[in-house]
Amino acid sequence: MDHDQQRLWEEMLEEFRALGGVAENIRLDDGPLGRGLFPIDAASPIRIFIPESLLLESKYITSKTAPCELLPRRPWGRARKPSSRITNAIFRGA
User: Domains of the chain: which residue ranges?
Assistant: 3-92
Q: How many residues does the chain have?
A: 94
**What's the Cα-to-Cα distance from 22 to each of 2, 65, 67, rounded to whole Å?**
24, 30, 26
Whether the Cβ atoms of residue 92 and residue 8 lie closer than 8 Å to each other: no
- Calculate the average pLDDT of the chain: 78
Q: For residue 80, which amino acid is it?
A: R
Read off the pLDDT of residues 27-59 as tens digits, 9 standing for 90 and up. Answer: 988 899 888 899 999 999 999 998 887 777 777
Give the global pTM: 0.68
Return the higher-pLDDT residue of 6 and 53. 6
CB 63 within 8 A of CB 73: no
